[in-house]
Amino acid sequence: MMYEKAHIVLTESEKQKIEVVDCALDDFDRTGICILTYVNTDLCCAKEMVLMPGQTCPEHTHKPLDNGYMGKEETFRCRYGKVYLHVAGEATPDPAVKAPAGDEAYYTAAREIVLNPGEQYTLVPDTLHWFQAGPEGAVISEFSTASHDEYDIFTDPRIKRV
């Protein structure tokens, strides 16, 4: 289990709660993510996420909602492997990873940020982003404001999150 490679201990109950997200594309090895949500309240959220080798979490954003929610601020901390985080902004010349073949039109965030174990990056609300694991896969901790995954906006219209 990838969590063990990051020395993250999970209870049996937590292992049963791991969400396997294939984004309704039926191509999990290429596009998808595994998520364990520890806590998600009106104020904060904590998750552990796993990407298999070369797997991509597709481009999306967390928009403000009509109820006053400002959108999700989130910090990604790499625990194992290498994470290639792409955010909106000036394109990185010669990025280390590319969008999944055939889906390039749905990946527009072009500034690449490389996270190694122990490194982290914080996204302000409504930041367009996607991320991909390196060849050994990746374990990422997410610390954020409240998470409303059902309202995530994906660039690829085929994707259904919840």
Q: Check residue 162 and give its pLDDT.
A: 64
Q: Check: CB of residue 12 under 8 Å from CB of residue 18.
A: no
* Topology (CATH level 3) of domain 2-154: Jelly Rolls (2.60.120)
* pTM across the whole model: 0.96
- pLDDT tens-digit profile of 104-140? 999 999 999 999 999 999 999 999 999 999 999 999 9
Domain ranges of the chain: 2-154
Mean pLDDT on 69-81: 97
- pLDDT tens-digit profile of 13-65? 999 999 999 999 999 999 999 999 999 999 999 999 999 999 999 999 999 99
- The one-letter amino acid at 39: V
Q: CA 10 to CA 60: how far, in whole Å?
A: 28
